[in-house]
Amino acid sequence: MKLAVIGAGSTYTPELVSGLSRERERVPLDELVLHDIDAERREVVGGLAQRMLERQGYGGRLTLTGELAEALDGADFVLIQIRVGGQEARLRDETIPLACGCIGQETTGAGGLAKALRTVPVVLDIAAEARERAAGGAWIVDFTNPVGIVTRALLDAGHRAIGLCNVAIGFQRAIAGSLGVEPERVFVDQVGLNHLTWIRAVQLDGRDMLDEVLADHMDAAAGQAALPPELIRELGAIPSYYLRYFYTEDERLAELREEKPRAQVVAEIERELLDMYRDPGLTEKPALLERRGGAFYSEAATQLVAALASDSGEPQVVDVRNGGALPGLAPDDVVELPARIGREGAEPLPQAPLAPELLGLVQHVAAYERLAAEAAVTGDRELAARALLAHPLVGQWPRSRELLERMLDAEVRA
C-alpha cells in the first residue's frame, strides 16, 4: 500500500506521520511519500518524519519528493493538505474583508471565497494527475480548506474523494474528557455543512448523553464552541465554534479588528516549529504543535484511511454528497455528517430534519457554496460576485462588489 501526502511541508505532517505509524495494522503501508513544492520545508519536515518513523519501527519506505508524478504513481491514497499562497495569502483573506466591514476569516465568509478561488483549480489539477497515475480505485482525502467547497469541486469532476475536518474529533475528545471516559466510547452526531455544524446527539456506548452534557458540563461545551451557554441551551445543540462568526457577528468583528491576525500568529508558530524540527535529536512532535491549530487532525485522518482500507463500516463524521440523508438540501450538496466508511467510500447516515433556525442558515450557506465552487472552477467573476451576495456574512450588493474587486486585485498584485 502506498500513501502520498501532498503538501507535506506543513508543520502538521509529523502528527500525521505519527498517526499512520500507530495504525500500521489497519494501514499496512509499504511506502509513504511526502510531497511538497517547497524544498526547504520538505527536507526539514521530512527529516523529522524519518526520525519519528525510525523510532516507531516503521519498516516501509519513506520518500521525499518535489515531483508530483513520483508522489502519485501507484498511490492507493492521496491526502491533500495544501495552502496555496501560504500564510501571506491567508493574511489577505483575513484583513481585506475587515476593511470592508465584514468578518475576516480564512474559511468563513469573504475570506473563504478568496481561498476557494485560489485553491480549487490547484487541487483539481492534482486530482487530474492522480486519476492518470494513482492506483485503480485510489481515494483522495481532502483536508484543504475550504473543505466543503473543495470536496464539492472534486466530486463534481468525478473524483473518488472524501472531505475531512477536525471539528468533530475535537468535540469528541473534549466531551470525553468532561465525561471522564475514553474517546473511543463517545460518538458526536454532528450535522450540517463544513464549518457550519451542530451536535444534536452525543452517544456514550450507544446512549445519547447530550442532555447530561448540557446540564452538567455546559461550561466546557460553551468553551469549546466559543459561544454563550444561554445560546446553546436555546438551540438544544452544540454549535461548531465557526458559528460564532454568525451568532455573534458584531462582537467577533470588533474583536478581529483589535486582534493580531491569526495568519501572523500561525506564521510565527511555524517558524519556531521548523527551527525545532531541524534539531537532529528531536524524534517526536513538540508540544508547541498544539498551538498551531488543527488538534487531533492526524487521528481523524488515520481513522478515515484505516476504515477505507479495512472496509470496517464504522461511522465517522466526513464531508460527502448529501444524497437524501439531510432533508432540506439538494442531493448534490456536500454535507458534513456521520457516514459509514468502507472500501467503497462513505455512505451518509439518514438524518432527522434540522430545526428551522438551523436549516435556514444551512440552506443560505449551501447556496453560497454552490456558486463559489462553480466560480472557482470556471473563473467567472459574475458567479463570484453572486456567491458573495448570497453569503449571510456579506449579503449587501455594494459591499459584495467592493470586496470582490479588492480581493481579486490583491491576488493579481501578489
Residue 315 makes CB contacts below 8 A (sequence gap 6+) with: 187, 338, 339, 340, 341, 349
The single residue of 12, 242, 245, 277 carrying the catalytic annotation is 242
Residues 80/144, Cβ–Cβ less than 8 Å: yes
**d(Cα 229, Cα 225) in Å, to the nearest integer?**
9
The verdict on whether 242 is a catalytic residue reads yes
Torsion angle of the four alpha carbons 96, 266, 376, 361, in this order, in degrees rounded to the nearest 10: -80
Residue 168 makes CB contacts below 8 A (sequence gap 6+) with: 188, 190, 197, 300, 317, 336
**d(Cα 230, Cα 191) in Å, to the nearest integer?**
21
Q: In 3D, which of 215, 167, 221, 210 has the Cα closest to residue 186?
A: 210
Residue 39: φ, ψ to 5°: -65, -40
Q: Transcribe 42-101 into DSSP letters.
A: HHHHHHHHHHHHHHHT--SEEEEES-HHHHHTT-SEEEE---TTHHHHHHHHHHHHHHTT
Q: Which helix (H) or strand (E) segment is 16 a member of?
A: helix 13-22
Q: In 3D, which of 166, 349, 154 has the Cα closest to residue 242?
A: 166
Q: In 3D, which of 26, 25, 24, 20 has the Cα closest to residue 34?
A: 20
Residue 406 makes CB contacts below 8 A (sequence gap 6+) with: 96, 99, 100
**d(Cα 348, Cα 149) in Å, to the nearest integer?**
18
Task: Note every long-range contact of 206-209, with CB atoms under 8 Å and residues 24 or more positions apart, other chains counting.
Answer: 209/179
Q: In 3D, which of 400, 413, 412 has the Cα closest to residue 110?
A: 400
Write out the catalytic residue numbers. Answer: 242
